Amino acid sequence: MRAIINKVMKEYKISNFEDFMRVLRENFKWLEELRRLMLTQELLELPKEFEEFRRRVEERLEVLEKRVQEVEKKVDEIENKLDKDLCFLKGIWVEAEVKKKVHSLFSEHLSNVKLVGKKRINKILSSAMQKGTSSEEEREEVLRLDLVVEGTLVNTKEPVLVAAEVSYTIDEDDVQRAVKRAEILKKAADRKVLPAVVGYRLSKKAKKLLTKEECLQVLISE
């Protein structure tokens, strides 16, 4: 170290410590040599070791982030499956509840309400197929209806069939299916058939669509 200081003092005019530091900054090799003399080899290697440590941490974090994303994806898949299963079970339960309360639920719109069984609907559709007014595809479509009821319209005293789609939360698909299947049944039965949706809740899209369609809306009190 003394040799470095002597060399600096010999080549530059040094009157104070600030002058000495200025000279070292201007001569990078002298500064590096002084640093090696003052610091241990371990300290000198710290920046390199820290950089290696930082790189390893970043790699670990990348692996961890990827695993977290995979777990989140699995959780989303499980939640979606549970939602679908739950919706299916809710649908079965709601349909059973509606059949038990069909008279009171439709009393606002109909009198003399009674359920129409699948056997009778199938007979109507099969007869229409023989006449050429319905197809096999249309028959299968109507037989997927959740509920068909028969009664007399309260306001007009007109006999009517009601083709109903039942869902815990009524959405626009329920409305569209009810309208489509009611139209097929109307053509096959050659009588007035109204579409209807029955459920506990009504989505915004379904509510908007109902204003455009002649479709009965039956909401169940929770």
pLDDT of 54: 80
Q: Kindly give, in sequence order, each residue whose CB lies less than 8 Å from that of residue 54, ignoring residues fewer than 6 positions away.
A: none
The stretch 40-56 carries a mean pLDDT of 72
**CATH 3.40.1350 in the chain, residue ranges:** 85-219
Whether residue 166 contacts residue 73, with contact meaning beta carbons closer than 8 Å, is answered with: no
User: Residue 60 corresponds to which tokens in the numbers above?
Assistant: 């670990």
The stretch 12-23 carries a mean pLDDT of 67
Q: Average pLDDT, whole number, for the chain? A: 82
Q: Looking at per-residue confidence, does 178 or 77 come out higher?
A: 178
Q: Kindly give, in sequence order, each residue whose CB lies less than 8 Å from that of residue 40, ignoring residues fewer than 6 positions away.
A: none
Whether residue 150 contacts residue 113, with contact meaning beta carbons closer than 8 Å, is answered with: yes
Please check the confidence at residue 82 and state whether its pLDDT lies above 70: no
pTM of the model: 0.59
pLDDT of 65: 86
pLDDT digits (tens, 9 = 90+) for 137-177: 999 999 999 999 999 999 999 999 999 999 888 999 999 99
pLDDT of 4: 54
- CATH class for the region spanning 85-219: alpha beta
E strands in 29-175? 110-115, 147-153, 159-166, 169-170
